[in-house]
A and B are shown apart, each in its own frame.
Chain A
Amino acid sequence: MIKIENLHKSYPMGKDSLHVLKGLNLHIKEGEFVSIMGSSGSGKSTLLNIVGLLDVHDEGNYYLNGQLIENLDEKKAAVLRNKFLGFVFQSFNLITYKTALENVALPLYYKGVGRKERQKTALEYLEKVGLKDWAGHLPSELSGGQKQRVAIARALVTQPKVVLADEPTGALDSTTSNSVMEMLKEINREGMTVFVITHEEEIAEETDRIVRLKDGVIISDELTNKKATV
Chain B
Amino acid sequence: MKLFDRDLWREVFSTLTKNITRTILTTLGVLFAVIILIMLLGTTNGMKNGFDKLFKGTATNSIFVWGQSTGKPYKGFERGRRVKYTFDDIKLLKENIKEIESISPRIQLGNYEGVSVVTRKGQSSGSSVYGDFPSIDDFAKKNLEEGRFLNQNDIENSRKICVIGDDVYKLLYKKEENAIGTYIEINGVYFQVVGVYRKNKNVSFDGQNTVHIPFTTYQKAFNSGNRIGWMAITVKSKYDAGIVLAKIKKLLKLKHDIHPKDTRGIGSFNLSEIFSGINAFTMVLQGFSFFIGIFTLLAGVIAISNILLITVKERTKEIGIRRALGATPKMIKRQIILEAIVLTVFSGLLGFVISVAGLSYLDSKFGDGTDFPFLNPSVSFTQLIVSFTLMLLLSLLVGLIPARKAVKMKPIEALREE
State whether A112 and B324 are in contact (beta carbons under 8 Å apart), knowing that A74-B329, A89-B415, A93-B415 are contacts in the complex.
no
Q: Is the CB of B325 within 8 A of A74?
A: no
List of A residues within 8 angstroms of B322 by Cβ: 95, 106, 110
Stretch at the interface among A35-43, A77-85, A204-212, A218-226: A77-85
Give chain A nearest CB distance to B172 CB in angstroms: 85
- Give the docked Cα–Cα distance between A107 and B331 (Å): 13
List of A residues within 8 angstroms of B329 by Cβ: 74-75, 78
- Give the docked Cα–Cα distance between A86 and B301 (Å): 39
Stretch at the interface among A23-31, A48-56, A183-191, A192-200: A48-56
Give chain B nearest CB distance to A115 CB in angstroms: 6
B141 close to A (CB within 8 Å) = no
List of B residues within 8 angstroms of A82 by Cβ: 325-326
Contact of A110 among B6, B317, B325 (CB under 8 A): B325
List of A residues within 8 angstroms of B325 by Cβ: 81-82, 87, 106-107, 110, 154
Q: Is the CB of B330 within 8 A of A111?
A: no
Contact of A97 among B18, B324, B415 (CB under 8 A): B18
B411 close to A (CB within 8 Å) = yes
State whether A54 and B412 are in contact (beta carbons under 8 Å apart), knowing that A79-B328, A87-B325 are contacts in the complex.
yes
List of B residues within 8 angstroms of A81 by Cβ: 323-326
Contact of A75 among B18, B320, B330 (CB under 8 A): B330
Q: Is the CB of B6 within 8 A of A115?
A: yes
Minimum CB distance partner of A75 in chain B: B328
Q: Which chain A residues in 55-109 approach chain B with CB under 8 Å?
A: 55, 74-75, 78-79, 81-83, 87, 89, 93-98, 106-107, 109
Give chain B nearest CB distance to A76 CB in angstroms: 9
- Give the docked Cα–Cα distance between A68 and B38 (Å): 59
- Give the docked Cα–Cα distance between A138 and B329 (Å): 26
Minimum CB distance partner of B318 in chain A: A95
Give chain B nearest CB distance to A168 CB in angstroms: 15
List of A residues within 8 angstroms of B180 by Cβ: none
- Give the docked Cα–Cα distance between A35 and B66 (Å): 108
List of A residues within 8 angstroms of B330 by Cβ: 75
Q: What number of A-B contacts does a CB cutoff of 8 Å give? A: 65
State whether A78 and B415 are in contact (beta carbons under 8 Å apart), knowing that A93-B321, A106-B322, A110-B322 are contacts in the complex.
no
Count, chain A residues at interface, CB 8 A:
28
Q: Is the CB of B326 within 8 A of A111?
A: yes
Interface string of B76-103 (1 = CB under 8 A from A): 0000000000000000000000000000
Give chain B nearest CB distance to A28 CB in angstroms: 20
Q: Is the CB of B14 within 8 A of A78?
A: no
Interface centre among A52, A54, A82 (most CB of B within 10 A): A54
- Give the docked Cα–Cα distance between A109 and B8 (Å): 9
The B interface is mostly helix, strand or loop, or mixed, namely helix
Minimum CB distance partner of A113 in chain B: B7
Interface centre among A75, A95, A97, A109 (most CB of B within 10 A): A109
B254 close to A (CB within 8 Å) = no
Q: Is the CB of B18 within 8 A of A54?
A: no
List of B residues within 8 angstroms of A87 by Cβ: 324-325
List of A residues within 8 angstroms of B412 by Cβ: 49, 54-55
- Give the docked Cα–Cα distance between A93 and B418 (Å): 10
Give chain B nearest CB distance to A183 CB in angstroms: 19
- Give the docked Cα–Cα distance between A93 and B14 (Å): 18
Give chain A nearest CB distance to B50 CB in angstroms: 53
List of B residues within 8 angstroms of A94 by Cβ: 321
- Give the docked Cα–Cα distance between A81 and B170 (Å): 95
Minimum CB distance partner of A155 in chain B: B325
- Give the docked Cα–Cα distance between A110 and B7 (Å): 10
Q: Which chain B residues in 260-293 approach chain A with CB under 8 Å?
A: none
B1 close to A (CB within 8 Å) = yes
- Give the docked Cα–Cα distance between A95 and B321 (Å): 8
Minimum CB distance partner of B411 in chain A: A54
Q: Is the CB of B14 within 8 A of A52?
A: no
A169 close to B (CB within 8 Å) = no
Interface string of B1-22 (1 = CB under 8 A from A): 1000011000000110010000
Q: A78-B326, A81-B326, A82-B325 are in contact. List 11 more A-B contacts (CB 8 A).
A: A49-B412, A54-B411, A74-B407, A78-B328, A93-B317, A93-B321, A95-B318, A109-B7, A110-B322, A110-B331, A111-B326
14 contacts between A and B (CB under 8 A): A54-B410, A74-B329, A78-B326, A78-B327, A79-B328, A81-B323, A81-B324, A89-B415, A93-B415, A95-B321, A97-B14, A98-B14, A106-B325, A110-B326
